[in-house]
Amino acid sequence: MNALFPSVTCLVRSMSEQRKFSRVAFDAQCMISTGGVAREAHLIDIALKGVMVELPRESQPLKDTKVQVVVKLGADDALIRMETVVYWNEGDRLGLRCVSIDMDSISHLRRLIELNTGDAELIHRELSQLMQ
């Protein structure tokens, strides 16, 4: 079967490798900016490695486009800012891979993931993987 569909094994391996980082479902509005144009998007989930947002297909940037994401956390002034690139799109959903994040944002993101997973050690391991 692998001889007929050699890419299937690669796809499965690739998908499992992508799931090394915990995703947190986080229902919130966020802003994405590319080329000086800011758009409101709906945040679906967030991880140390990136975010998934919902944005009408006609408003989506192309694959490999650099995109800044800003997520406001609650009523206070806490923000998560990420520099990302468009990794994939499917319908109205867009996967953005994090390429850069500042220390304040990573602290907020780490706390958000800890609170939602209840496992501080898991986040420590994921941060270690991210640094490698």
pLDDT at 19: 47
Residue ranges of domains in the chain: 24-131
Residue 37 has pLDDT above 80, yes or no: yes
Chain-centre distance for alpha carbon 92? 15
The length of the chain is 132
Residue 113 banded pLDDT, cuts 50, 70, 90: confident
pLDDT at 117: 74
Kindly indicate whether the domain formed by 24-131 is annotated with CATH number 2.40.10.220. yes
Q: For all residues of the chain together, what is the average pLDDT?
A: 79
Question: Cβ–Cβ contacts within 10 Å for residue 59, how many?
Answer: 13
pLDDT at 27: 84
How large is the average pLDDT for residues 42-71? Answer: 94
Exposed/middle/buried for residue 25 (C-beta within 10 Å: 0-12, 13-18, 19+): exposed
